[in-house]
Amino acid sequence: MSNPMKGALRCLPAAVTAAGPIPPAAENLSYSMLLPGGAYCAGLAREAVRGLLTRHGLAVLCETAALAASELVAAAYRFTPDREMALRVRWQYDALRIVVYDQHPLHRRPDAAEQCRDRRSRSMWLLAAAVEEHGGDWGLAPALTPDGGTKSWALLHF
């Protein structure tokens, strides 16, 4: 007689049942979320980042990280209002990486792209000040998709 549960039991990963669930820690902090793109998303990103860092034992980075996320999302909103954007929060190589991908349209003329990048860089003075005060870094780069898009990021050390 066949056992109807046999297949299901085989599907259970042995490591999880043996060691128990993996608790949140810096090492497994890795989240991605899509934001609808409204101005309110800056506040939402701030709260999400605070919650994630607290849960993963990185509360010491909360204030700077929340400000960084908020500034990245706010800049994405200013330059591409009401378009969906992606927020990634990840701990990797002993640093917190906050990355925002937006859908800013591609500039066909290189000088226009350069001016846009300059304007955006200058608008991020608060992010620059906060991140640099903590020995971190930030930047902007084209997202390299067919439709354009900008990748903006902040990196914070523990």
Q: Which is nearer to Zn ion, 94 or 111 (CB)?
A: 111
Rg over alpha carbons for the chain, rounded to the nearest Å, is 20
The binding track of 67-106 with respect to Zn ion, each residue x by CB under 5 A or -, is ----------------------------------------
Looking at the chain, list the stretches that DSSP marks H as alpha helix, in order from N- to C-terminal side: 6-11, 14-19, 41-55, 62-79, 110-123, 125-133
Q: How many Å apart are CA 92 and CA 87, to the nearest integer?
A: 16
Question: Rounded to the nearest whole angstrom, what is the least distance from the CB of residue 84 to Zn ion in the complex?
Answer: 17
Site for Zn ion in 102-141 (CB under 5 A): 116
Q: Which is nearer to Zn ion, 75 or 154 (CB)?
A: 75
CA-nearest of 156, 48, 60, 72 to 120 is 72
Q: Which is nearer to Zn ion, 6 or 109 (CB)?
A: 109
**Which residues of this chain interact with Zn ion, rule CB under 5 A?**
116
